[in-house]
Structure 1
Amino acid sequence: MSVPVLVLAMSAACCLGFGFVLQQNAAQRAPLGDFLSPRLLLDLMRMPRWLGGTALMVAGMGLGAVALGRGELSLVEPLLATNLLFALVLSRHRTRQPLGRQGWVGLALLAGGVTAFVVAGRPSGGHALADPLRRWLIIGGMIGLALLLTGYAKRSRLTSGPALLAVAAGTLYGVQDALTRVSGQRFSEGGLVELLSGWQPYAVAALGVTGLVLVQSAFETAPLQMSLPALTAAQPLAGIACGVGLLGDRLRTDTVALSWEAAGLAAIVAGIVLLGMHPAMPQGGAERARVRDVRTG
């Protein structure tokens, strides 16, 4: 693993983690009538805290894009998943909640899982993109899954809806990361003209805006504990699937390596859940927003 890729990915995770906390703190004050509507972004743009969180998120996505340009998607995605650690750091600083056994176990699982997956899998770049049919099947399948989850979330927006929206957004962000890497390759090969002549950068923008609406809708309706773990777990899983199936990333496939890779991914997800459910995470103000929305509706 190259040190620049590690530094870029961890810096991106730091910006994303801090940004998510600030965004959720602002989004919980938005009216529930904006649920799953682009109007939600217009309301949030009036809140300085949300703008600050979004600036950090954009910076994190930019750093992540540079990391993706220098390293394999299957390597960068697990590192980006550590954004939850930084979100917990900021939340813990604000709540003064001790880390406790749950926090330390979650930290160990997440860090150990990332290490196990990277060391066992030894991600390396493929030689070519997947054939067009396979490419569109993977992208279509991911987007279809996100649409299906969003449909279910709309019907249960105050119960399981936030978690479903977060999984949908994480899935789209995983596809976005794959297309970001392809866009970077096109830019390296032919400059701005080559980049803008392809559909990938426009798809990256569309996925980014759609994912942002889904994430903010999840943030406004429930505490961060219900949405951020699902988002953080879904994105690397979708990204790794796209890296291997779409971009030709290679992982070791012998029995021992596959066992450690599976164990590493399981530990990452378990660590994310434990950290995301930590008492230090913001509890949110969905109930207050709900009451305010009823009174003004």
Structure 2
Amino acid sequence: MGWVAHHAIAIVAGLLAAFWAAVGIVVRQRVAQTVPANHDSSATMSSLLTSPLWWAGTLGAVAGYVFQALALAHGSLLLVQPLLVSSLLFALPLSARLCHQHISRLDWGWAIVLTAALAVFVLFGQPREGHNRPPVPAWTMALALTVPLVIVCLVAARRTFGRVRAMLLAVAVAVLLGMIAVLTKICTHRYAVGGWHGLVTVPAPYLLVALAVAVTVVQNSAFHAGALQASVPIMLVGEPVVAVLLGVVVLGEHLAVRGSAALGLIVAVGAMVAATIALGRDQALESGAVSSKPPGAQQEDEFDALRR
């Protein structure tokens, strides 16, 4: 248990990040569904900016990012990002409360599977940090793979509607969030080594701000597109996958897996993916059911639920 104690701050901060990320996702989803379907991205953002509830959800998302940065300052991407998948464990009861619904036994079962899989991944994998100084060739290759994918998804999404549009935007969001996680890890390391001077003299923090603005716009567009049963699982599964891959390729992070533990790790990862997709689909379907109410009535229900 020495490794767990050494990484306790990263683990606790990662779980707190997951909780606040869940609050941000659930609340902003509800508000985005009150915007008329014929609004484009700019009109959607204008409507959302006037909603106090949307700002409350955004503050939740910001709190989640702050805890994520704290976790990354004390642990690797391979440790922190899979922990963020547990946001579904928090989103499930929160969404049920806002929707005035009950959580099924099947969903509780998947929640137990996800919790056990996360524990096995952390204990068996014992993720190790890399060099934190991304080599130019690896970073170039990462950008060459991720940037075109985001552009293709955004362009294709403009020509589609409903479920397909939500899926394409969700892929773009997952990639952008994965890139943000890597840049956050780099920024926390630069600050730890060189303070504010060391941080502001590298391009990472400025790219981080630009990506944060971009992902806010794209994510709200995905929430507004409907078909949330398609977008939620992709976002929540895709972000850690992208971040972990970039952590391995760019930062040289790795898992300390020995012998038969590798098999347990593979099973745990498979269970994490299956449970996340199942829970995300159920949570999103409940969100879609709420969105069938008239916008005014739906928003009243949300305010009443939050007050209670």
Aligned to 1:292: none
Give the corresponding residue for 1:53: 57
Cα deviation, 1:56-81, whole Å, max 9, x if unaligned, reads 00111111111111111100001111
Name the amino acid aligned to 1:269.
Answer: V
Aligned pair in 2 of structure 1 residues 19, 139: CA closer, same or farther (>3 Å)? same
1:165 aligns with 2:169: yes
Give the distance between the partners of 1:242 and 1:98, measured in 2 at CA: 38
Following the alignment from structure 2 to structure 1, what is the Cα–Cα distance between the partners of residues 241 and 252? 15
- Per-residue CA deviation, residues 153-175 of structure 1 (Å, 9 max, x unaligned), is 22223132112211220111011
1:221 to 2:221 alignment: no
Deviation of 1:117 after TM superposition, in Å, equals 2.0
Paired residue for 1:65, among 34, 45, 69? 69
* TM-score, scaled to structure 1: 0.89
Partner of 1:25: 30
Worse-superposed segment, 166-175 or 87-96: 87-96
Matched, 1:274 2:257: no
CA contact (8 A) 2:162 2:227 kept: no
Deviations 1:164-199 (A, max 9, x none): 211220111011111101011111111212211111
Match among 199, 202, 212 for residue 195 of structure 1: 199
Per-residue displacement from partner, 1:256-286 (whole Å, max 9, x unpaired)? 3443333222211211111112267312537
Q: Structure 1 residues 187 and 130 mapped into 2: Cα distance closer, same or farther (>3 Å)?
A: closer
Tell whether the 8 Å contact from 2:132 to 2:186 is kept in structure 1 after alignment: no
How many angstroms apart in 1 are the aligned matches of 2:129 and 2:52?
Answer: 41
Q: Which is worse superposed, 9-18 or 221-230? A: 221-230
Instruction: Give the one of 270, 288, 291 matched to 1:285.
Output: 291
Q: What residue is the counterpart of 1:116 in the other structure?
A: 120
What SS is found at the alignment partner of 1:198?
A: coil
CA contact (8 A) 1:244 1:250 kept: yes
Stretches of structure 2 that go unaligned for 5 or more consecutive residues are: 296-308
* 2:8 equivalent to 1:3: yes
Structure 1 Cα separation of the partners of residues 68 and 264 of structure 2: 25
Once residues 242 and 78 of structure 1 are traced to their aligned partners in structure 2, the CA distance between those partners, rounded to angstroms, is 13
Give runs of aligned pairs for residues 229-248 of structure 1, distance below 5 A. Answer: 229-248=233-252
Look up the match of 2:156. Answer: 152
3-state SS of paired residue (2:163): coil
What number of residue pairs does the alignment pair up? Answer: 288
In 1, Cα distance between equivalents of 2:162 and 2:258: 44
* Mapped partners of 1:175, 1:239: distance in 2: 6
Q: Equivalent residue of 2:242, what SS?
A: helix
Deviations 1:1-28 (A, max 9, x none): 3222222111111111011111011111
Q: Give the Cα separation in 2 of the matches to 1:124 and 1:154.
A: 40
After TM superposition, where is structure 1 displaced by more than 6 Å over at least 4 residues in a row?
A: 286-289
Q: Is the 8 A contact 2:73 2:189 kept in 1?
A: yes
Name the CA distance, whole Å, in 2 between partners of 1:276 and 1:100: 14
Q: CA contact under 8 A between 2:124 and 2:257: conserved in structure 1?
A: no
Alignment-mate amino acid for residue 86 of structure 1: F
Q: CA RMSD in A?
A: 2.1
Give ranges in structure 1 of 5+ residues lacking alignment.
290-297
Q: Which amino acid aligns with 1:240?
A: V
Instruction: Specify the SS of the correspondent of 1:278.
Output: helix
**CA distance, structure 2, for counterparts of residue 206 and residue 287 of structure 1:** 35
Aligned counterparts of 2:97 and 2:291: Cα–Cα separation in 1: 19
Match for 1:86 among 83, 90, 103? 90
